[in-house]
């Protein structure tokens, strides 16, 4: 049969908020399960999958520091939130028979594996989904930067950023009926126009490592698998 995708190893980045469904906070198990099914369908194509999940559905460093907490402490709390999300995704994937590893930038051996690059690569070769947790392990960063860093380290061919919209627009499509979606857009243009794909450090790191970012909608059933096969609508940042 003809190959259904040309990708062999990819990074999927989703925000923590993608896991909360219509709730204002936390985890919505049916939503976690729905996204896990999307990931399984791509794994079933034989694609090696890395994943980074944010923590914004539970805690954001900036929100903590706005409430008077020290920024670094608040950021560590945000990183811990990403570990909870990673464990929830692991649980949903394994219930479907997908082997996974949660790999944390902050060692917590009773809970998950510490990050050791060569070991993570081995997991991928064995077709285990690697969920990278605790961001970069450093305050003042975001999980977008963590996704870009791990994608570079793991030799991913692209970062797939699953969002609520099907790509990058010149203005907010929820507010402007005449907003136009880009098919392709350069890293430098994203930075100059502040297009809000990812934060500036993540975009700059992707640019320096020639890592394309593919922005697509996670709400579309079968969307992730379709995009990998070149179907559907999306934006390539390159
Ligand atoms: N965070 C951090 N360093 C990192 C990654 C994340 O300090 O390398 C903290 C930061 O406080 C951030 C929180 O973890 O607000 C949750 O991550 P993020 O905001 O990226 O989550 P998302 O918006 O994708 O849900």
Torsional sign, CA 93, 198, 151, 143:
negative
CA–CA separation, 211 and 26 (whole Å) = 31
| pLDDT at res. 1 | 52
| pLDDT at res. 2 | 52
| DSSP three-state, residue 13 | strand
Of ligand 1's listed atoms, the one at least distance from the Cα of 105 is 8
Of ligand 1's listed atoms, the one at least distance from the Cα of 13 is 24
Could you tell me the CATH number of the domain that includes residue 178?
Answer: 3.40.1160.10
Reading phi first (left if > 0) and then psi (alpha if -120 to 50, else beta), residue 210 is in left
Question: Of the residues 79, 132, 147, 201, which should be mutated to test ligand 1's pocket, given the most ligand atoms within 8 Å of the CB?
Answer: 79
204 within some domain:
yes
| pLDDT at res. 183 | 97
3 within some domain:
no
2 within some domain:
no
Reading phi first (left if > 0) and then psi (alpha if -120 to 50, else beta), residue 219 is in alpha
Q: What is the pLDDT of residues 34-44, one digit of tens each?
A: 999 999 999 99
Take residue 14 and report the two structure tokens written for it.
């989703």
Burial of 225 (0-12, 13-18, 19+ CB in 10 A): buried
| pLDDT at res. 5 | 87
CA of 112 to the centre of ligand 1 (A): 19
| pLDDT at res. 152 | 98
Domain holding 160, by residue range, is: 9-237
Residues of the chain with pLDDT under 50: none
131 within some domain:
yes
Structure ipTM = 0.98
Number of domains present in the structure of the chain: 1
Question: Do the Cβ atoms of 238 and 203 come closer than 8 Å?
Answer: no
80 within some domain:
yes
Q: What is the pLDDT of residues 88-144, one digit of tens each?
A: 999 999 999 999 999 999 999 999 999 999 999 999 999 999 999 999 999 999 999
| pLDDT at res. 4 | 79
4 within some domain:
no
Residue nearest to atom 13 of ligand 1 (CA): 78
**13 annotated as a binding-site residue:** yes
**39 annotated as a binding-site residue:** no
103 within some domain:
yes
CA of 156 to the centre of ligand 1 (A): 21
| pLDDT at res. 3 | 62
216 within some domain:
yes
């Amino acid at each position: 049969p003809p190959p259904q995708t040309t990708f062999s190893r990819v990074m999927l980045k989703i925000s923590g908020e993608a896991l909360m469904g219509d709730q204002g906070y936390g985890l919505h198990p049916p939503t976690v399960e729905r996204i896990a099914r999307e990931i399984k369908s791509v794994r079933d194509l034989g694609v090696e999958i890395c994943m980074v999940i944010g923590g914004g559905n539970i805690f954001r460093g900036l929100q903590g520091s706005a409430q008077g907490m020290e920024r670094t402490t608040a950021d560590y709390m945000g990183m811990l939130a990403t570990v909870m999300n990673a464990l929830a995704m692991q649980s949903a994937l394994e219930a479907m028979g997908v082997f996974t590893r949660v790999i944390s930038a902050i060692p917590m051996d009773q809970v998950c594996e510490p990050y050791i690059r060569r070991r993570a690569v081995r997991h991928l070769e064995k077709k285990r989904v690697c969920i990278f947790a605790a961001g970069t392990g450093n305050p003042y960063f975001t999980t977008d930067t963590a996704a870009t860093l791990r994608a570079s380290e793991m030799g991913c061919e692209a970062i797939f950023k699953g969002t609520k919209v099907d790509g990058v627009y010149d203005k907010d499509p929820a507010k402007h009926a005449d907003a136009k979606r880009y098919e392709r857009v350069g890293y430098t243009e994203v930075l100059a126009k502040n297009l809000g794909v990812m934060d500036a450090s993540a975009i700059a790191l992707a640019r320096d490592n020639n890592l394309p970012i593919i922005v697509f909608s996670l709400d579309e059933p079968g969307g992730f698998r379709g995009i990998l096969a070149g179907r559907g609508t999306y934006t390539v940042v390159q």
